[in-house]
Structure 1
């Protein structure tokens, strides 16, 4: 009997030591990830470390010295396993958060542009070699680098085509559909510009790609960093890209906002600029971007985020310190990761003919949307009499719905998948250290931020757009709203409220 008891005690001690080692290893993993992430203020990190060390000591004492009975030992082991698993899960979540911050702040040096040779769906041209001897339409002043690239690739393969140059996208499309040319060359960033035109809304379904190539352009988007991000006011350009070819590909800027942040007064001013705003372009690329030309501001994104930034700076007469780019097509992954989102549709705004989400129908009241449906809802404008203004409201609804889901307790159950989906959705020129400094500032001071809003406005018209080489719908700026927006931004930067500006 005594031998059995001694044997049981020895087994209990062995298990106690093993689970103690497991607990200490899990705690060290969690603390290592916390230190590596560097988001906790020193005092809070010290407190967390002390708490976990004390918990470990208590359970080690219980496991190895204090619990004698089998039942009490088993209960202690269960709690130890639970604490170890919790520490491992916490460390894993910290690791995922760190990866997200790294991906967001690791701006790629080059952006990708994709160029295609397009034929009609009914064309006898089926493959690359069939293009030889046929006629092709190209643009004279737009996307010239891409056109030269793809024509050279074809020529190197022994494929020569008869080129016809056009001064505008609409002239080239008209010639294509009239049969004047057998094929056309387009930059894939222009595809949505084409389908946005009512006459060519079905371009995707009645054409196909015969040959495609990609080339890279330097990403010149750099931060104009402030000295101390927790004490110095700064401006952030928020740009929502509609690129179809991945987050590293340039695309139109469908969402354009300037966030003015004053950490001293804890004020954030969001200034919205409609995508069709008719502005003077400030170029940052030589690929067909025409310096000083008039165009919709959405088209500036085709030439990179820095072109959009410079154009906004010129429009508002301000300096932008950082950029924050959102890939709208990849937002679908986030929405699906959080289990869908709910949007509330006001009476009179029911819709069943979404261009970008066929089959989607929303009714008055709360509607639950999956990723594809949420993207379609956020991109729709033709179904609404308010057009782009309503689309902006829909986008805000979807973004706020995502924020509500991400900040809810339910995030714990699928935190890892949410972090993974977000890693390919956002990028910023703000550094990792600056982001962690802001998080520490928030945790240390727990400030209550005041959110203020502003928007520039104008009147609709049909005017020449440089990127299209033709006339299109634009919003001609009401200069008084631009001046007012600038004054509001400067007021917040100077520690005042934008509401004081009349």
Structure 2
């Protein structure tokens, strides 16, 4: 019956055959351009596509008078053409995704807001006239200046600037009505919302104006000659924000991934987000170069600052960076159809602090969607080991994502994964390096061995320049820092990191924080040899918000802090 509708059936058959040839050529080109398939897979695949076209051509010639053969060739040509075009489309998207995430940005995105209380009568810049605006005196001077410039350009108004010493002081002044508005870099917002007194800051305030500007960035790769044969280090930096992964924010995940393709070994070395280390400012122009601060605050300066700080701390070279945020985790995990993690005995969590509405995890295997995976990776308050357990959870999530992404199930979830990856991360790995690694994975099918380690230390409360006040920190154990360096070096040298159990040297060159961290901590009483640097002078600390710390110290602030006590005097511990 179909043939009755085709007045010239041969013409239709040949049209469909031409479409088959064109779609075959198109998909062949896309597969070849993608560059992920090894030669032993690529060329047989292209040969099969060519043979299919040849067979269709011969059938058209030999059986052009056979109704069944003609209909069969016609239907097969249409189906194959559709399949090829769909495949070529997805390969095209893959190339686009790889090009997008490997495009190195030479700028950092900055957003500085004018924030008022929800019940304020200020809704426009014009209504700021004659009012008091809180600005940070020493922190983020550059951001404040940029915001003031844009305000005057948008709507020239006169208002009174009230200088404040710290971000918590800004929140306190706004809540109390001491000022009508504050100028706040959005990178510091989470520093406010983590404080118990201002946990509802985002709900009780609103933004009436936001200045957007870019600052230069020079995050370049220290590329190896061949990622399939040479070992290298990747820094994974996880920002504590949703949305655009390029927006400056704290780096709450700091993990060095050491890859040795020749031994099929991957070492994950985690650094607690509260680690108290000397800061390398990188590209930032409003930063306390060389002073001790929490490593999470380096993310506010940009990933270059985090990378260089980690390099100096561990005395290693970082070859590549890989930056993600909260949205990255949820979107990637969901695109994979969820991940499976095994919770050790005693580590079950009934509900997560980040979202108490979510079901926690039980001992044994758990299947997590994106939101639960993110909450599991952020959980620390449920554990006695706090931040140390959190970094172990982050390592488990990363391994689970890697295992799911390299499993056969990826075929089913490929389209959704591409959509998730488009805006999920940025990296200094090049597109050629990524495709070379994928090709290596397909060809060699290595059985990757994962090893993990984390540096650790003691909790304390010390001055953080980026906050302008004292805060809870982790003073790292120099032996764990030295051991981290030695384990990384062992994997780079083709050895097993698990075999390295003691530091190979008495003092690692990477322990730069140790040479300055000296004296007696006026909060914890911890003894260190030598003298405090100038920025430990208690008289310089902001004590007006002493109770507004990111994590409370042991006991009350009255018991542990006396502004008249010198750094050398530990009699009032």
Instruction: Verify same fold: TM over 0.5.
Output: yes
Q: Identify if the C-alpha distance between structure 1 residues 288 and 245 changes in structure 2 by more than 3 Å, giving closer, same or farther.
A: farther
Report SS of the residue matched to 1:224: coil
Question: 1:375 deviation in Å?
Answer: 3.4
- Write the distance in 2 (CA, Å) between the matches of 1:213 and 1:330: 25
Map residues 326-405 of structure 1 onto 2, 5 A cutoff.
326-341=324-339, 349-352=348-351, 354-355=353-354, 357=355, 359-362=357-360, 364=362, 370-405=369-404
- Write the distance in 2 (CA, Å) between the matches of 1:438 and 1:415: 18
- From 208, 212, 217, the counterpart of 1:210: 208
Deviates more, 1:407-416 or 1:283-292: 407-416
- Write the distance in 1 (CA, Å) between the matches of 2:439 and 2:334: 30
Q: Is the 8 A contact 1:142 1:467 kept in 2?
A: yes
- Write the distance in 2 (CA, Å) between the matches of 1:498 and 1:377: 26
Q: Is the 8 A contact 2:352 2:376 kept in 1?
A: no
Q: Identify if the C-alpha distance between structure 1 residues 74 and 393 changes in structure 2 by more than 3 Å, giving closer, same or farther.
A: farther
Map residues 133-282 of structure 1 onto 2, 5 A cutoff.
133-156=130-153, 157-244=155-242, 246-282=244-280
Segments of structure 1 that go 5 or more residues without pairing to the other structure are none
- Write the distance in 2 (CA, Å) between the matches of 1:361 and 1:374: 11
Deviates more, 1:102-111 or 1:283-292: 283-292
Q: Identify if the C-alpha distance between structure 1 residues 363 and 46 changes in structure 2 by more than 3 Å, giving closer, same or farther.
A: closer
Instruction: Indicate yes or no: 2:81 matched with 1:66.
Output: no
- From 74, 77, 83, the counterpart of 2:74: 77
- Write the distance in 2 (CA, Å) between the matches of 1:405 and 1:261: 18
Question: 1:450 deviation in Å?
Answer: 2.6
Report SS of the residue matched to 2:120: coil
Q: Is the 8 A contact 1:142 1:287 kept in 2?
A: no
Residue matched to 1:480: 479
Question: 1:399 deviation in Å?
Answer: 4.0
Question: 1:296 deviation in Å?
Answer: 1.1
1:343-373 alpha-carbon deviations (Å, 9 max, x no partner):
6666663333633x35323353666655445
Report SS of the residue matched to 2:359: coil
Residue matched to 2:16: 19
- Write the distance in 2 (CA, Å) between the matches of 1:270 and 1:162: 50
Residue matched to 1:46: 43
- Write the distance in 2 (CA, Å) between the matches of 1:20 and 1:500: 62
Compute the TM-score of the two structures, normalised by the length of structure 2: 0.80
Count residues in correspondence: 498
Question: 1:299 deviation in Å?
Answer: 0.9
- Write the distance in 1 (CA, Å) between the matches of 2:232 and 2:144: 39
- Write the distance in 1 (CA, Å) between the matches of 2:347 and 2:305: 38
- From 101, 106, 109, the counterpart of 2:106: 109
Larger RCO: Structure 1 or Structure 2 (Cα < 8 Å, ≥ 6 residues apart)?
Answer: 1
Question: 1:290 deviation in Å?
Answer: 0.8
Q: Is the 8 A contact 1:113 1:215 kept in 2?
A: yes
Residue matched to 2:463: 464
Residue matched to 1:95: 92
- From 285, 288, 291, the counterpart of 1:290: 288
Q: Is the 8 A contact 1:140 1:165 kept in 2?
A: yes
Q: Identify if the C-alpha distance between structure 1 residues 485 and 401 changes in structure 2 by more than 3 Å, giving closer, same or farther.
A: closer
Q: Identify if the C-alpha distance between structure 1 residues 376 and 173 changes in structure 2 by more than 3 Å, giving closer, same or farther.
A: same
Q: Identify if the C-alpha distance between structure 1 residues 368 and 206 changes in structure 2 by more than 3 Å, giving closer, same or farther.
A: farther
Q: Identify if the C-alpha distance between structure 1 residues 97 and 260 changes in structure 2 by more than 3 Å, giving closer, same or farther.
A: same
Deviates more, 1:146-155 or 1:433-442: 433-442
1:242-289 alpha-carbon deviations (Å, 9 max, x no partner):
234512211211211111122333322211111111111111134321
Question: 1:16 deviation in Å?
Answer: 2.5
1:295-323 alpha-carbon deviations (Å, 9 max, x no partner):
11111111111100000000000111111
- Write the distance in 1 (CA, Å) between the matches of 2:349 and 2:160: 49
- Write the distance in 2 (CA, Å) between the matches of 1:107 and 1:148: 27
Q: Is the 8 A contact 1:354 1:360 kept in 2?
A: no
- Write the distance in 2 (CA, Å) between the matches of 1:102 and 1:145: 32
Question: 1:225 deviation in Å?
Answer: 1.4
Report SS of the residue matched to 1:464: strand
Report SS of the residue matched to 2:474: strand
- Write the distance in 1 (CA, Å) between the matches of 2:101 and 2:13: 43
Deviates more, 1:341-350 or 1:116-125: 341-350
Compute the TM-score of the two structures, normalised by the length of structure 1: 0.91
Q: Identify if the C-alpha distance between structure 1 residues 389 and 333 changes in structure 2 by more than 3 Å, giving closer, same or farther.
A: same
Q: Identify if the C-alpha distance between structure 1 residues 130 and 500 changes in structure 2 by more than 3 Å, giving closer, same or farther.
A: same
Residue matched to 2:510: none
Structure with more of its chain in helix, by fraction: 1
Residue matched to 1:451: 450
Segments of structure 2 that go 5 or more residues without pairing to the other structure are 502-573
Residue matched to 2:552: none
- Write the distance in 2 (CA, Å) between the matches of 1:450 and 1:387: 27
- Write the distance in 2 (CA, Å) between the matches of 1:451 and 1:400: 8
Deviates more, 1:288-297 or 1:394-403: 394-403
- Write the distance in 2 (CA, Å) between the matches of 1:319 and 1:398: 25
Question: 1:135 deviation in Å?
Answer: 0.8
Q: Is the 8 A contact 1:235 1:259 kept in 2?
A: yes
Q: Is the 8 A contact 1:242 1:329 kept in 2?
A: no
Deviates more, 1:477-486 or 1:94-103: 94-103
